[in-house]
Structure 1
């Protein structure tokens, strides 16, 4: 299993970064994992701005030479892991910019005249590991599960990815937030996951 980890947080001293480290540690000890690549969007100064003009046309996004390495990583991966905080009920703008630029027509999906397009990333699986300051059930009861709906239905299902696993960890800024227990849970998950 070839695994691509996409990390989105500007602070390497953050708890989110600790979740990244536990993810990598678990994957490195997993016999099912053939290779791991990590993309740190902030460290790589990924440009999240989507630009269309006379030179950069929307219909050519899937061939943008600036993004070739990132496209190859997504094609290469069997499993894609996203590690990020939830800010204002959704992923950071940096990650949303990555999604806007990477999941382009004729790369991630193809319009076929039907109600939904043909997903071109079929067969891949996704895991989303996210942290938030608020309570764990806040997204479900207050935001009608907007975060999971956005990621699962509006993005991954649209591009053909059916198997999506979520870890939403709340109360991460509280002293009694059980951070160590949650970090160990992520480590154990990635050490054992087979598909």
Structure 2
């Protein structure tokens, strides 16, 4: 049975991102997948990397809240992230989770020759984001490519995860309910292929 960790980050569980989460969970249940959901806002996850965190990481230990998150990442074969794109980036709480959880010695390590070795190569990632802008605008302005580079290369590939699927759902705030339903069917299809 595939084990999946879902990282959800939206302050409003009744948002379209919340609907995505609902579809993801239903599809995982339908597929008979064992899963854990981390609702970062509901958990009041502390996304601030502190000096103490850094000092502990240098000693090869981490704070208890980070250890808990890392154990869940270790357990999972699939990681699913659901969050909106704000200011051409994930919400701060997601970046904070990444800063604290995908830490040196856990997600990556430095090699003697100065290169970086990713340590999470046994994982797959599905990233589902939403944006208010349309696809053409984001492509023409280069913002979509920048987001993909940051997420896929800068975070997941860096951590050793080479099997990454990224899907942004465009114009979620201004499109029709019919289009949103199509998007949710697309999400179910993505999850069913994991």
Same fold by TM-score greater than 0.5:
yes
Task: Show structure 1 runs of 5+ residues with no match.
Answer: none
Task: String of CA shifts for 1:97-148, please: whole Å, max 9, x gaps.
Answer: 1001011111111111235311111121000000110002333321351111
CA RMSD of aligned residues (A): 1.9
Query: Whole-Å Cα distance in 1 between the matches of residues 13 and 82 of structure 2?
Result: 12
Q: Which has the higher contact order (CA 8 A, sep 6+)?
A: 1
* Offset, 1:69: 1.0
Residue equivalent to 1:142: 141
Q: Does 1:188 align with 2:189?
A: yes
For 1:5, the equivalent position in structure 2 comes to 6
Check the 8 A contact 2:56/2:62 in 1, yes or no.
no
Q: Are 2:107 and 2:119, in contact at CA under 8 Å, matched by a contact in 1?
A: yes
Q: 1:64 to 1:179 in 2, by over 3 A?
A: same
Query: Aligned partners of 1:11, 1:160: CA distance in 2, in Å?
Result: 32
Q: Distance in 1 between matches of 2:65 and 2:113?
A: 31
1:13 and 1:149, CA in 2 relative to 1: closer, same or farther beyond 3 A?
A: same
Q: Name the SS for the 2:95 alignment partner.
A: helix
Tell me by how many angstroms 1:68 deviates: 1.3
1:171 is aligned to 171
1:105 maps to what in 2?
104
Shift of 1:45: 0.2
